[in-house]
Each structure stands twice: as structure tokens, then as C-alpha cells.
Amino acid sequence: MSGRKEEKKAVALRYDGVSAPKVTARGFEGLADEIIQLAKDAGVLVHEDPELANFLAKLEVGDEIPREVYVIIAELIAFATWLNLKA
């Protein structure tokens, strides 16, 4: 173990219900903190998963998510929808 601290990452996704979710923002370190805070302020679900963040952070803004993560993203969208319906 190198003891090196992992770089903080944040990726925002948008799903229009028609095509695959797309990356709408991504950032590292301070920008990641801003993305997370904006999401929280807007009442958007913030999910912390370093492995998923590492995978999604390789995408560019505007890219659709790859098939490899459809299931996990679909589960997160379903959970966020359920939370909104309960509120």
C-alpha cells in the first residue's frame, strides 16, 4: 500500500427517460466538492462509490454511460425516484 490519498472525484448524470444517462458534470478535488454541494443543495441524490466514480470520471461531459454500468445506474435512478415519491 502506497499510502497515497485517492484523488476526490464527482460525476453528475442526467437521465431523460429516452436515451442512456449522460455525464453532465465531472470534477476533481475542489470542483468535485462544488458538484457534490450543488447536488445536495438541489436535493439530488448523492451516492458515494469510489470505484464507480473512478469508472465514470474517465468519461467526458456529454458522454452516455457505457452498458457495463447500466444496472447500477438504473438501480440508483429507481432509488432516487422512490425517495422523491415518498417525500
Question: For the domain that residue 65 is a member of, what is the CATH number?
Answer: 3.40.1690.10
N- to C-terminal Cα separation, the chain: 43
User: What is the predicted pLDDT for the residue at 2?
Assistant: 57
Q: Report, as an integer, the average pLDDT of 11-25.
A: 97
Q: What does the pLDDT look like over 52-67, one tens digit per residue?
A: 999 999 999 999 999 9
- Any domain includes 3: no
- Any domain includes 1: no
The owner of cell 454511460 is 65
How many domains is the chain built from? 1
- Any domain includes 23: yes
The parent domain of residue 32 ranges over 9-86
- Any domain includes 28: yes
Q: Report, as an integer, the average pLDDT of 69-80.
A: 97
Return the percentage of the chain with pLDDT > 90, whole number.
Answer: 90
Q: Report, as an integer, the average pLDDT of 3-12.
A: 87
Instruction: Indicate whether 4 pLDDT > 80.
Output: no
Write down the pTM of the prediction: 0.87
